[in-house]
Amino acid sequence: MTKQELITALAARRDATGITHAEIAQRSGLTERSVRNALSLKGNPQLSSLLALVDALGLELQLAPKGFGQSAGTDPDYRPVVTRVGHAVAQAPPHANKRRPP
């Protein structure tokens, strides 16, 4: 999955849930402007912002070996294992675009 595909998927989730940019900003700790920019077709958000958006939209990012779920070719013992990222945002260093609590 490319960064643009991830952004498109996040924007689709926002549309499907009807959540506003303001609500996403509040949940993610990003500014509303950062949320709008990140979810736009021209957006180029940092990984920490993407992880904050994933969490704010009620999603979980999972990593899997390429080809996961597909035939593993000739190795009959191939058993891919999914690794959960979870709430990495909580452990991320402060981001310049995050709002400070009042």
SS (H, E, C) the chain: CCHHHHHHHHHHHHHHHCCCHHHHHHHHCECHHHHHHHCCCCCCCCHHHHHHHHHHCCCCCEECCCCCCCCCCCCCCCCCCCEECCCHHHHCCCCCCECCCC
pLDDT at residue 92, as a whole number:
45
Tell me whether strands 62-63 and 83-84 are parallel, antiparallel or unpaired.
antiparallel
Q: What is the pLDDT of residues 82-102, one digit of tens each?
A: 544 444 434 444 454 455 555
Domain 3-91 has what CATH class? mainly alpha
Q: What is the pLDDT of residues 21-63, one digit of tens each?
A: 999 999 999 999 999 999 998 889 999 999 999 999 999 988 8
